[in-house]
Structure 1
């Protein structure tokens, strides 16, 4: 489990500061997750967006008189033949190619797998990101909101002030 917030380190960060152990302090900060969204103070409650029937894609396309949307991926193996546009490109007839694509949009991709990420891309991400992808939680935050007890925090601050040496 990656380090998500400073509380997992306990008092070690504080001790490194007071004992001027810069290397240990830098190492511990480097081990923390680099994604700010994983920090407890940035986890916000989620809200649901209500879609009214007038804002659906089909209603907006009809209202604006737009052509049908290009499919994301090939639906049948016969659709592969629609990608054969080499004759138009060879004849330098790019206007016809563009017109055909606007009248009958071709699929954007060969496959419709939103969860597929190339291995070269995954090896370039952080260890924390790779762990989230393996767990299948690419859009969720692994960290949980922490409860904050202000009274205990103020008592801890008061205790540290009392125990701190006097500066002359």
Structure 2
């Protein structure tokens, strides 16, 4: 009966024992001290006050919207980036470096002008590919494997051709 009551007693730290642990230490009662320590909870979360921290969902898009920032600078060029670059070059020639910088800060141009429609390959490499390799790059889904009964289909097709040729 006493074992069950000890199991149900949630003893977390020495404050729940009062002076019992102190008396066991001063009087040299090692067995009592060991028994008291064994009844403490070994879970750190019981001994440490833990507050639930609510995680705030912050994404790049939310921060840009909150601080009213422009969209980030693009890494690769597309068709619209050539117009932006031409406009900044015209502003540089007409009004100088300060005007071109201001235009860049308001609407930044891309970091790299890469060739388009080369499947992320350098232009020299893409033009050295054969026509078959270029066609494979443009295929959306890979070719299916040859059917397992291909030989039977070829024999059947040959026999039907022979029968139609004799008739």
Higher relative contact order (CA 8 A, sep 6+): 1
Q: Which has the larger radius of gyration?
A: 2
| Higher normalized helix content (fraction of residues) | 2
TM-score using structure 2 length:
0.30
Normalized against structure 1, the TM-score is what?
Answer: 0.30
